Chains A and B, each alone.
Chain A
Amino acid sequence: MNASRSSLNKVSLALLPVLIALLFTFLVLLIAGANPLAAYGNILAGAFESPRKLADVAVACVPLLLCSAGGLITYAAGLWNIGIEGQMIAGALATTWLINALPLPSYGLLPLSVVAGLVGGALWGLLAGVLRTFGQVNEIFAGLGLNFVAAALTNYLIFGPWKPPDGATMSGTDPFPQAAWMPTLPQARLSPVALILALAAIGAVYVLLRGTHWGLKLKAIGLNPQAARRLGADTTRNMLLAFAVCGALAGLAGSLQATAVYRRLIPQISGGYGYLSLLVILLSGSRAEWVPVVVFFFSVIQVGSPRLELRLQLDSSLGGILQASVALFFLLTRGLRERFGEKKG
């Protein structure tokens, strides 16, 4: 009886921030002069109304899973890798460059594009890492600055050297040649390969952080870098490695967005998934086993929100409000529980 009560307790505690967030968004919608229930209904409909839409939810899960998996690694080491958004872009850029550079059709173009994504993201991540470890620039600013630089670089390439022969537009580059298209399910944008890679990534990170020496070293560095160094965990080396691995996973996400979803390079190739993954990490209490749940929840919102613009003339940023407010209330309710719950018991 007690065991089931405590697990019921846990579930209800997890749902509390969601409920409060829904309430909060309810109020925001009222302020904006919209019908809250209609808005919620539209978001759900947007995500679940057809098999194709369900597949879209899975599509959104891919970059979110990959970035969250990577972000968990840097978070374990005590780093706020906000640059994950730019690392995604870098992977997409590297992939696009590769596809443009290799003569087609090329056997193994797709595996190579994956490698390009990993390498591009890893390098961009290392850049932030180097600024942090050798330049003492806080990784928040290094990451953020590099995000803006990466976005500007993308725009430059899309409107400049990589623009379509007919003229540059906001739709991005010309579509990739078919050989560079990651195969997807019929009538859906979901690539099984991408999904498998994403799930494998989060699984691998789970094992990495729990059961390997490298994961333990990262944890030690995150908790007390000075003592960790003295005890033999080289802070610089391990942090740089963490940046590289996280960047690689983010780069892979960017690359897959380019080859599986959009099949071209678009200005918003990273789509805010990098920033969103940081929210996922916070909400999952930096536990890898909770990440898929949170990712699914966020992806539903991601896919459902654009419908608001179509049907209700509401800006789709309402989805972002939902996601961020869940994270906010998660932090606040956890704080309330920690500080005041112990007294009431």
Chain B
Amino acid sequence: MRVELCDIRKYFGPVRANDGISLRVESGTIHGLLGENGAGKTTLMKILSGYQPYDAGEILLDGSPMRFTSPAEAIQAGIGMLHQDPMDFPPLSVLDNFLLGRGKGLGQRRREGRKKLEELCQRFGFGLDPDAPVSSLTVGERQQLELVRLLSLGVRVIILDEPTTGISAPQKELLFGTLRALAQEGLAVIFVSHKLDEVEALCSRVTVLRQGKVAGEVAAPFSSDQLVQMMFNQRLKPSRRTDVPLGEVVLDLQDASVRTYRLNVEHMSLQVRSGEVIGLAGLEGSGQRLMMLACAGLERLAAGRLLIAGQDMTHEPYRRFLEAGVAFVPAARLEEGLIPGLNLSEHVALVSGTGGFFVHWKDAEARAQKMIADFNIVGHPGMLVQELSGGNQQRALLALLPEGLRLLILEHPTRGLDLESTRWIWNKLLQRRERGTAILFTSTDLEELIEYSDRIIVFSGGVMSAPVDAKRITVEELGFMIGGQRL
């Protein structure tokens, strides 16, 4: 089915998310949609898939104009969207997820549904267990389920929004193979991403968005430089990282284990020195987060020892870790990092105090103002944190960190941020590193891991690998390590 978007406009108040975008996707092709965060890709796709109403413009399917007011209507018209975080129901089983919302009538028609599910999984080589709860699936498997579900509902246009975040290399290959097969069958595939290499590998045409408008459209073969030029209106600058002499051991894990209801991570041994950057790689749910939480003092060790700067912190409460100069920055900025409902001054007062029992509000406000200036935050002290953009929230989180930390642990520090914000944040992090802070971070971006880490550790199924020198590994090798260690 051929899809045409004609002069789509969507405004959020003064913000022009989509400012007259026209796009045509032919059936049987994989069309890439490139652009940095905030360029308008997600808004456009939400409009196309019925999640978002639009202010002006037209949508044509095979030449006829269509208007949908809900995602369900869009699916009926043949357009389905696979979100970055699939819209599924974690506690329910795979089969239940497949069946939910299907057809009118009282019965669930389980046998029929099961057969259809198994058929589709076989066709694409997906190994899904119909009775497993979706919460036990990896992100890649949840994607597969959603894909299979949409196909079974007869969609002819599939939109994938940043599908390769958090999936393994083999799963990515499987996905790409599936998409190529679907295109061969005549479906139109729209591949939204900010990853140049994937778009270059998969798509036959690419549309680049910038600031709500179409910056350009090219056909394969592509040149990275040309695409970057369209995305940012500037060339990629290679990063330069200075080598820093390593200091004393700041973090010492001795045969440590963390055990929770869902996952055990056993026999972790690691020594991190001051000024060192350690990257943690691996699929989500492989144990990196648990290890970071343990190092931060937010999760108890079940066995082994943990030392911070030579002090045994194994059974110490969280506040001792804070006193010892350890800080943890979570990935979920508003859910775990900041407090929606409080403004920046209040955060400053909460985190660093203003001396004494009573709060000195003027003092807090002044310090918040300085923080805003130092970190280029777009906002003012009285602004509630939920009103800040994602990038500014990340800057605020970093700004609230105390000076002179021994160990800084960051969970996906640049997730969802555009290239410029990413570079800016790493700049700040590397500054801390030069002052002696050791950094532990996770990322799903293999290039980011290789570029900024001194050593990389791979987590797989609760097992921590031996550290690998980041200078001596390639992206492919790292990908294999992450995928290959799975049995």
Contact = CB atoms under 8 A, between A and B. Distances in A.
Direct contact of A and B (CB under 8 A): yes
Interface of A: 211-214, 216-217, 219-220, 223-224, 226-234
A95 B109 CA distance: 66
A-B pairs with lowest CB-CB distance, top 3: A223-B341, A224-B339, A223-B339
A226 B342 contact: no
B319 A234 contact: yes
Contacts of B336: 224, 226-227, 230
Contacts of A232: 319, 322, 350-351
B342 A219 contact: yes
Interface string B358-377: 11010000000000000000
A73 to B, nearest CB: 15
A246 B185 CA distance: 68
A213 B342 contact: no
A285 B32 CA distance: 51
Contact of B350 (A211, A216, A226, A234): A216
A234 B336 CA distance: 14
A191 B130 CA distance: 71
Interface string B283-319: 0000000000000001000000000000000000111
B346 interface: yes
B298 A216 contact: no
A230 B335 contact: no
B358 A216 contact: no
Nearest to B328: A230
A214 B353 CA distance: 10
Contact of A231 (B350, B357, B358, B359): B350
B337 interface: yes
Contact of B339 (A213, A214, A228, A234): A228
B346 A230 contact: no
Contacts of B298: 229-230
Most chain B CB within 10 A, of A211, A224, A233, is at: A224
B359 A212 contact: yes
A214 B339 CA distance: 16
B330 A230 contact: yes
A213 B353 contact: yes
B147 interface: no
B349 A216 contact: yes
Given A216-B349, A232-B319, A233-B350, A211 B358 contact: yes
Contact of B337 (A212, A213, A230): A230
Given A211-B359, A233-B350, A220 B342 contact: yes
19 contacts: A211-B359, A211-B361, A212-B357, A213-B353, A219-B341, A219-B346, A220-B342, A220-B350, A223-B342, A224-B338, A226-B336, A229-B318, A230-B298, A230-B330, A231-B339, A232-B350, A232-B351, A234-B317, A234-B318
A233 B358 CA distance: 16
Contacts of A217: 350
A231 B351 contact: yes
Contacts of B319: 232, 234
B232 to A, nearest CB: 33
A90 to B, nearest CB: 28
A214 B357 contact: yes
Nearest to A226: B336
Contacts of A234: 317-319
A227 B351 contact: no
B297 to A, nearest CB: 10
B251 to A, nearest CB: 18
A9 B357 CA distance: 37
Contacts of A231: 339, 347, 350-351, 400
A212 B351 contact: no
B127 to A, nearest CB: 34
A213 B363 CA distance: 13
Nearest to B298: A230
B125 interface: no
A88 to B, nearest CB: 28
Nearest to B353: A213
A336 to B, nearest CB: 23
A220 B338 CA distance: 9
Contacts of B351: 231-232
A226 B335 contact: yes
Given A212-B357, A232-B322, 7 more contacts: A213-B359, A214-B357, A219-B341, A227-B335, A229-B298, A234-B318, A234-B319
A223 B357 contact: no
A230 B409 CA distance: 12
B340 interface: yes
Contacts of A214: 357
Contacts of A224: 335-336, 338-341
Contact of A213 (B328, B338, B347, B357): B357
Contacts of A220: 339, 342, 346, 350
Contacts of A213: 349-350, 353-354, 357-359
Contacts of A212: 357-359
Nearest to A231: B351
Nearest to A225: B339
A214 B359 CA distance: 9
